[in-house]
Amino acid sequence: MRRIPVTLSFTKHTLANGLDVLLHEDHTCPIVAVNLWYHVGSKNERPGHTGFAHLFEHLMFEGSQHHDRGYFQPLQGAGATLNGSTNADRTNYWEVVPSNALELALWMESDRMGYLLPALTEAKFSNQRDVVLNERRQNYENRPYGLAPMALLSALFPPDHPYHWTTIGEVADLHAVRLDEVQAFFRRYYHPANASLALAGDIDSDEALAMARAYFDELEPGDRVDPVDASASLSSDTRIFFEDRVELPRLYLAWLTPAMFAEGDADLDLGTDLLANGKTSRLYRRLVFDERIATDVSAAQNSREIAGYTQITATAAPGHTLDELEHAILEEMARLVAESPTDDEMERGRVQAESQFVFRLQTVGGFGGKSDQLNAYNMFLGDPAYFDRDLARYQDVTHVSLQQAIARYLAPSRRVTLSIVPHGRVSLAAADSERAVVS
């Protein structure tokens, strides 16, 4: 099969203070993506202090010493679009600016990296805590099935494992956090040696590097942050349920799986697609198309820095039970392990991977754009050149390696089985489930 050479050209420079600077030129559009990652996420939190990394991300938009006003205004006035996000493993911040405003974006990013604390007040802190509590209400508490991640993660990972909690955090922890903890957190994690800066788009690499040096060289490096080490294992089928304000019961099956980029990760990505994503998947065909016992089914291999988990989700059609769904799902998984995937399934998986990788080359900025990808490869692998090898991971998946990964990691005897049922309809939960407490 013809393959397009898929590469993402770049240069990498490490400043004396440890900041990595990645440069990628693309003159399609007169814009530059400024993308800055800090190697800190909810995995760096401790029990009782959850939600902190994300709350901190909000404070990064509230002004710094030399621009003690909102972060958005000057950048939006220059025509930028900007955002930030926090997950378990990293926090990222980005601006996509017209090429003529690159210096402004570097001024702003460097000022909040170096000089945030003098501008941080109790009032800003208290306001953004209220905003985050409202984000939690909007995206989790007031949303059907919205508390599923809380139940799944806490059952998959033990209490001392940093993937035990969600990035949005526990309400009580958010109420308990104090301003001095914010300051200590900033000093520990927000410094050049724990960050990676990617500039992608309409730049001259030499000029852009000189500008990045001018703004970031003066910032003091902090101490290197030790990697987080934790392990998790499941030895049985943990069966739990809770009631929610929903009309239809939903079943979640989840397993512990390899970390991002580890052996088996790509096999499980393709394997979960083959099983449950899209109308051509085996579970869609059986559950939704042929037997019509489910209204939807999907799956994902959620790979993270130190561990992963695969999740299959299906909602029961009225009149059908979660036990029926569970039985059918496990049967299809067993069939995939026993019989080889078809050549057509494998070929579709490969061409879809190739297409998705090429599609990703179309944009310099934002979540998932080229600047974000360079930082992801740099931060998690120390190798921003990994793009083509990342694609090769998917091209190299074979019938056998896919089957083996499913057999090894998605064993029916070591999983979490979660049912979310309508209030007062506890009997709709999958058999032998125990009530879970979630909030």
Partner 1 sequence: MSAPDTASAAREIKIDRSRLPEPGPARPFAFPAIEKSTLPNGLRVWTVCHPQVPVIAFDLLVRRGASADPHGKDGLAALTADMLDEGSGDRSAIEMHEALARLGAQFDTDIGSDAASVSVTVLTRFAGRALTLLADVVARPALRDDDFTRVRQLRLHRLTQLRDMPGVVADRAFLKLLYGSHPYGHSPIGNEAALAGMTVDDVRAFHAAAIRPSVATLIAVGECDHGAVVRLATEAFGDWCEASGDAVTPDGAVPAAAALNIIPRSNAPQSELRIGHVAVPRDTPDYHPLLVANTILGGQFVSRINLNLREDKGFTYGARTAFEFRRLPGPFVLQVSVQTTATARAIEESIGEIAGIRGPRPVTSEELALGIAALTRGYARNFETAEQIARAVMQLALFDLPDDYFAQFVPAVARVTTDDVSRVMARHVDPARLTTLIVGDLDVIGADLGALGLGDPVVLPPDAF
- Residue 156 and residue 256 in contact, taking contact as beta carbons nearer than 8 Å: yes
Q: How far apart are CA 394 and CA 267, in angstroms?
A: 7
Coil vs helix vs strand at 14: strand
Quick check: 204 binds partner 1 (CB under 8 A)?
Answer: yes
Q: Which lies closer to partner 1 via its Cβ, residue 30 or residue 48?
A: 30
Instruction: Give the one residue of 364, 405, 429, 430 binding partner 1; rule: CB under 8 A.
Output: 364
- Least distance to partner 1 from the beta carbon of 369, Å? 9
Q: Which lies closer to partner 1 via its Cβ, residue 169 or residue 264?
A: 169
Quick check: 393 binds partner 1 (CB under 8 A)?
Answer: no
Q: How far apart are CA 149 and CA 439, in angstroms?
A: 11
Structure tokens that stand for 268 in this block = 């499980």
> 431 vs 125, 390, 438, CA distance in Å?
46, 41, 20
Q: Which lies closer to partner 1 via its Cβ, residue 156 or residue 193?
A: 193
Quick check: 142 binds partner 1 (CB under 8 A)?
Answer: yes
Q: Which lies closer to partner 1 via its Cβ, residue 247 or residue 432?
A: 247
- Candidate segments 92-100, 149-157, 159-167, 333-341, binder of partner 1 by CB under 8 A: 92-100
Instruction: Give the one residue of 280, 395, 401, 404 binding partner 1; rule: CB under 8 A.
Output: 280
- On the CB side of 369, how many CA atoms lie within 13 Å of its CA? 25
Backbone angles phi, psi at 280, to 5 degrees: -90, -5
In the range 211-270, which residues lie near partner 1 by CB under 8 A?
A: 211, 213-215, 217-218, 245-248
In the range 286-305, which residues lie near partner 1 by CB under 8 A?
A: 288-289, 292, 295
Quick check: 388 binds partner 1 (CB under 8 A)?
Answer: no
What amino acid occupies position 27?
A: H
In the range 17-46, which residues lie near partner 1 by CB under 8 A?
A: 26, 28-31
Helices (H) and strands (E) in the chain, counts: 15, 12
Q: What is the total count of residues that contact partner 1 (CB under 8 A)? A: 92
What amino acid occupies position 16?
A: A
- Candidate segments 85-93, 124-132, 175-183, 299-307, binder of partner 1 by CB under 8 A: 124-132
- Find the helix packing angle between 52-59 and 179-189, rounded to 10°: 90
- Radius of gyration for the chain, computed over Cα atoms and rounded to the nearest angstrom: 23
Quick check: 172 binds partner 1 (CB under 8 A)?
Answer: no
Quick check: 151 binds partner 1 (CB under 8 A)?
Answer: no
Quick check: 344 binds partner 1 (CB under 8 A)?
Answer: yes
- On the CB side of 179, how many CA atoms lie within 13 Å of its CA? 12
